[in-house]
Structure 1
Amino acid sequence: MTDERWRTIRLSLVALFGVGYVAWFFTRGIIINHVLVLSSMALFFAVASVGRPWRCWVESLRDYLLFAAMWLAYAESRGLADGLDFPIQVESVRNIDRAFFFGADGVVELQQRFLAPPGTVRWYDVVGSMVYYSHFIVPPVTIALLWFFNREQWVRYMRRFATLLFVGCAMFVVVPTAPPWMAGDPAFGYDALPPLRRPTGNGWRYLGLDAAVDAWDTGRDWANPVAAMPSLHSGFSLFFVVFMFRWVTDWRWRSLMLLYPATMAVSLMYFGEHYFADAVAAWLIVGLSFWVWNRLEARWARRDESLEPEVAATVDVELDTGGELGLVGTQERHD
């Protein structure tokens, strides 16, 4: 079978996988369970490798194991945090946030001014929910599509993404932080803020996506409740936008794209999930990740360019010394 035919088959299988992913989303909810995430990604790597040589299958396995290691490291950060027992930050982060808003609690102000009574949904609740839950869709879909269509860009993406995730998980362990909803919940023994609501799913339930919300509510049972600093929701949204800047050069479109992480940060505050300080910390890590890898990759590119003349000179020497033998050998093979 020709390579072009195999490529058509792979595209068809990937499209079929996408249909199944969307169908699962609407009927069963967002895929956030450990086993389901790893299983679904393993299935994608498999169908996207159909018809490739065995060496490509080995490469696919290696790439999948990298993704699995990243996901498991993030998932296991809760166990490490519990085992090391670092003190939970409650008032310190709240005070940093107050500095941003000149003494006011931005989270409290947003809920008091805009949060509708229970049972009522406003348009910005829908927008906020859509942006909030995109955190569980955009990163894995981007990783999968980049890997399938352009592995070179996938490598660039994963270097930066892994750095963001590693620093974030390290901070979850060393600086466990109570999110705003917990800081105002007497059930946890905190009163740093007034009691807050967590209406993250109101907008999606209004759209009839109850299954997606239920899947997330179930996932809270294993999620790390004090993994608030930095906010990976904010970090991933800015990360995606900045990575896509490579193909979007017009500053007007770039400015429009930045509305995504900005809306994410505001939504997280409005839902009582994060402080603005959590978002700022994540954005700084994103900037650090891109700065480090941009410099490293530029250095590697300069090194490769400097080696090219040496390689060319070596080839010329080999041709000068063995060119006659090479021509004879070529003639014999043609005969």
Structure 2
Amino acid sequence: MGELSVTSQEGRSEATPSPIVNEAAPVANPKQNTGRRISNLVGLRSSRSPRRPRIWFEILLVAASYWVYSLVRNAVPEQRTEALRNADRIWSAERYLGIAVEQSVNHAVNSVTWLIVSMNYYYATLHFIVTVCVLVWLFHWHPGRYAAARLALFATTGVALLGYYLYPLAPPRLMNGGHFVDTVLVHHTWGSMASGNFKNMSNQYAAMPSMHIGWSLWCGLTVFALASAPWARVLGLLYPAVTLVVIVSTANHFWLDALGGMACLAFGYAVSYAWYGSLPHHLPKRVVPPCGRTRLAGLSARTPVTARRPAADAAGAGRR
């Protein structure tokens, strides 16, 4: 038995060399690669995840953004001839569609002094006050949705500036032969940047799209989607509807200007959805801390890198 065993050992062919050239070279660890991929994915998502807003940063951001908006809007060349020509085209298109009733509404409301004066002040003030109030409400009660809603508002305003530049449009009150009543001039009300003593401080031919509609509809939809009180939700829907009546009654906009404001808002929500992957009201109410990302990153960093030897070598070492 002993000789037979020795013979079989001597007659065995020499083992083929291992295909591993350098045992010291690190071998890819599937768990490590998976952890790295997950960490990168989580990092990408977290960069787009809503973060808790900071009050002073938001105040400065909103103030600076409105300043830039006003600066750019008023820096657009006042192309009077083209703006009046476009107003005639809008008016003709509305008459063709059978919706050219702005003049009748303007004269009817102007005949009721207390109503038109109230609308003049509404047009001059609530446009800013309500928008700021909704931003503050979101910041305090819905911080997880604030950034997405703010992005929608900013994108809406940004694309509106492009409209002012590409399509100068005179408001109805400045049309040649339109017979509209400039209600601010007639009733000497304060506050409108479009008439009276302030008209030289604002671009008179930036009527398309209407940001009174774009901003008021943003406010209304936000309140309607997030408010819990039924009366607040009703007010949210009424606000853009009343704003529409006001901009027409004061002869500051056509119906189609309002449609342009709605289109800009749709673009704003599309930008917000593309960045955050959801509409603002579908996001969590509170900001979720990124604890999952930290845990995954730590797990990936602690994954050991080891060189695995072939099973045959390990068995041979055991015999030696």
Normalising by the smaller structure, the TM-score range is 0.5 to 0.7
Number of the residue aligned with 2:89: 92
Match of 1:128 among 97, 119, 131: 119
Larger Rg: 2
C-alpha distance in 2, partners of 1:244/1:254?
A: 6
What letter is aligned with 1:177? L
The answer as to whether partners of 1:129 and 1:201 remain within 8 angstroms in 2 is: no
The answer as to whether partners of 1:135 and 1:237 remain within 8 angstroms in 2 is: yes
User: Cα distance 1:84–1:216, how it changes in 2: closer, same or farther (>3 A)?
Assistant: closer
User: Cα distance 1:229–1:308, how it changes in 2: closer, same or farther (>3 A)?
Assistant: same
With structure 1 as the length reference, what TM-score do the two structures score? 0.58
Number of the residue aligned with 2:207: 228
The answer as to whether partners of 1:228 and 1:278 remain within 8 angstroms in 2 is: yes
Q: Structure 2 stretches of 5 or more lacking a match?
A: 1-53, 305-320
User: Cα distance 1:198–1:216, how it changes in 2: closer, same or farther (>3 A)?
Assistant: closer
Q: What is the deviation of 1:148?
A: 5.8
User: Cα distance 1:282–1:317, how it changes in 2: closer, same or farther (>3 A)?
Assistant: closer
What pairs up with 1:112-127 in 2 under 5 angstroms?
Answer: 112-116=107-111, 121-122=113-114, 124-125=115-116
The answer as to whether partners of 1:121 and 1:202 remain within 8 angstroms in 2 is: no
Number of the residue aligned with 1:157: 149
With structure 2 as the length reference, what TM-score do the two structures score? 0.61
Q: Structure 1 stretches of 5 or more lacking a match?
A: 1-58, 184-189, 322-335
Q: What is the deviation of 1:83?
A: 7.8
User: Cα distance 1:217–1:135, how it changes in 2: closer, same or farther (>3 A)?
Assistant: farther
After superposition, the C-alpha distances for 1:80-125 in whole angstroms (9 at most, x for unaligned) are 421889932221222233244x1x6311121344431xxx524x43
What letter is aligned with 2:94? D
User: Cα distance 1:138–1:79, how it changes in 2: closer, same or farther (>3 A)?
Assistant: closer
The answer as to whether partners of 1:126 and 1:202 remain within 8 angstroms in 2 is: no
Compare the two structures and name the one with the higher helix fraction. 1
Number of the residue aligned with 1:286: 265
Number of aligned residues: 242
C-alpha distance in 2, partners of 1:225/1:149?
A: 38
User: Cα distance 1:313–1:65, how it changes in 2: closer, same or farther (>3 A)?
Assistant: closer
Number of the residue aligned with 1:175: 167
SS across alignment from 2:277: helix
The answer as to whether partners of 1:131 and 1:260 remain within 8 angstroms in 2 is: no
**Which structure exhibits the higher relative contact order, with contacts defined as CA atoms closer than 8 Å and separated by 6 or more residues?**
2
Q: What is the deviation of 1:254?
A: 4.2
C-alpha distance in 1, partners of 2:273/2:193?
A: 40
1:196 aligns with 2:180: yes
Quote the sequence identity (%).
18
C-alpha distance in 2, partners of 1:315/1:290?
A: 36
Number of the residue aligned with 1:43: none
What pairs up with 1:1-335 in 2 under 5 angstroms?
Answer: 62-82=57-77, 87-88=82-83, 89-100=86-97, 102=98, 105-116=100-111, 121-122=113-114, 124-125=115-116, 128-129=119-120, 131-132=122-123, 133-144=125-136, 146-147=138-139, 151-183=143-175, 190-191=176-177, 193=178, 195-200=179-184, 217-248=196-227, 254=233, 257-298=236-277, 312=295, 315-316=298-299
The answer as to whether partners of 2:194 and 2:202 remain within 8 angstroms in 1 is: no
After superposition, the C-alpha distances for 1:31-80 in whole angstroms (9 at most, x for unaligned) are xxxxxxxxxxxxxxxxxxxxxxxxxxxx6665444324422332223454
What letter is aligned with 1:196? F
C-alpha distance in 1, partners of 2:293/2:118?
A: 57
